[in-house]
Structure 1
């Protein structure tokens, strides 16, 4: 059987099942539910916390590795198909940091204020050397979907969102590095966009659309 046929058959067999989201992020859960409903997939998405599944140990060295680790972990414990999201911000001038460590860049997991402050500080030498040059940034999202814990052919989808990194936060919406992520085409930061507009163009929105296309 070809890979395309295998994917098609697996997706058809799975679409009546519950799938586990290897995250307890309410924003991600709402986004998955909405987009899956729009795609008319008869799937119930359940956050892993509802099944008493603790977070996986993310010891991979890339977004892809960590997404697969989290998906396999959730699937193994639940016995259900699982989807995992691994995402973050890459800034080329500082070696693509924060990268896979975006959520804990300043040491405390999920402390957006400290993470943003550290990024601003780490970029200061570059700004002093090149005061008139924008600093490029890239939001990355990788989704991994496994039909079972030992699935040899995970479905992988990736979204990339290009922008620039500001010196000061701007905007009250979003989370993470959104207040520093400037979008020249829209003349706004990610934190200034409505949830609908952000989902339409963001790295996670792109990755989910790719995933849906493969399903």
Structure 2
């Protein structure tokens, strides 16, 4: 841990996705009074290696990522594993959402493939859910996991410039807008990740 540039960090998010770091700083600032952005740092900022995500549930993958970061840094670590679950596909892509196209992290290819697979599916059969598992792992070995979900349906084309991942093709239940069209504050209030981390926030607050 001595060669890691932790700065003021009190908590490490096990992700190499800068969008997630920014989004989670906002979520925790809303959920925890006095929370400061530089208390949370991403694994990419520390050049940590990413573990192989070989769990078969969102919870298992979030825990293995948080465990790896806690072990490497000696700090409390949080992680999430999330994805989109499409009813007509039997819950897929699910845990394979980030690599649905065959390789990890190509949002455009993932979106193109899913849209192509559902091209002939009528609006009434395009139900889907965003699901997230948020994990907190302490250096002592204590572990906590919370789940969050938002139901909705898939659009026929990308809409909106915000968000990331599958946000441009997912409209939350009762709304005609995609998640990528929602202002960040509104998205964080209803998102699967926001719900999971708000449930975990009391445990995180105890550490800060």
TM-score of the aligned structures, taking structure 2 as reference length: 0.85
Unaligned runs of 5+ in 2: 1-7
Check whether the contact 1:56–1:73 (CA below 8 A) recurs between aligned residues. Answer: yes
Check whether the contact 1:112–1:176 (CA below 8 A) recurs between aligned residues. Answer: yes
Q: Which of 102, 118, 124 lines up with 1:133 in the alignment? A: 124
Over 3 Å counting, the alpha-carbon distance change for 1:17 and 1:103 in structure 2 is closer
State the Cα RMSD in Å: 2.0
Check whether the contact 2:9–2:40 (CA below 8 A) recurs between aligned residues. Answer: no
In structure 2, what is the equivalent of residue 103 of structure 1?
Answer: 98
Q: Which of 130, 133, 138 lines up with 1:142 in the alignment? A: 133
In structure 2, what is the equivalent of residue 164 of structure 1?
Answer: 153
In structure 2, what is the equivalent of residue 206 of structure 1?
Answer: 195
1:3-82 → structure 2 map (5 Å cutoff):
18-38=10-30, 39-40=32-33, 44-82=39-77
Check whether the contact 1:71–1:83 (CA below 8 A) recurs between aligned residues. Answer: yes
User: Tell me, what secondary structure is at the counterpart of 2:125?
Assistant: coil
- CA–CA distance in structure 1, aligned partners of residues 95 and 176 of structure 2: 27
- CA–CA distance in structure 2, aligned partners of residues 30 and 175 of structure 1: 12
User: Tell me, what secondary structure is at the counterpart of 2:102?
Assistant: coil
> Which protein shows a greater Rg?
1
In structure 1, what is the equivalent of residue 5 of structure 2?
Answer: none
- CA–CA distance in structure 1, aligned partners of residues 137 and 59 of structure 2: 13
- CA–CA distance in structure 2, aligned partners of residues 192 and 17 of structure 1: 31
1:17 shift after superposition: 7.1
User: Tell me, what secondary structure is at the counterpart of 1:133?
Assistant: helix
- CA–CA distance in structure 2, aligned partners of residues 189 and 162 of structure 1: 12
1:123 shift after superposition: 2.1
- CA–CA distance in structure 1, aligned partners of residues 42 and 123 of structure 2: 45
Residues 166-193 of structure 1: per-residue CA shift (max 9 Å, x gap): 2222222211111111234222111111
Total equivalences in the alignment: 194
Residues 138-172 of structure 1: per-residue CA shift (max 9 Å, x gap): 00111100112x62x41111110100012222222
TM-score of the aligned structures, taking structure 1 as reference length: 0.82
- CA–CA distance in structure 2, aligned partners of residues 92 and 79 of structure 1: 40
Unaligned runs of 5+ in 1: 1-15
1:51 shift after superposition: 2.3
1:132 shift after superposition: 5.6
Q: Which of 79, 84, 87 lines up with 1:84 in the alignment? A: 79
Structure 1 segments, 4+ long, off by >6 Å, are none
- CA–CA distance in structure 1, aligned partners of residues 72 and 123 of structure 2: 52
Query: Are residues 1:176 and 2:165 paired?
Result: yes
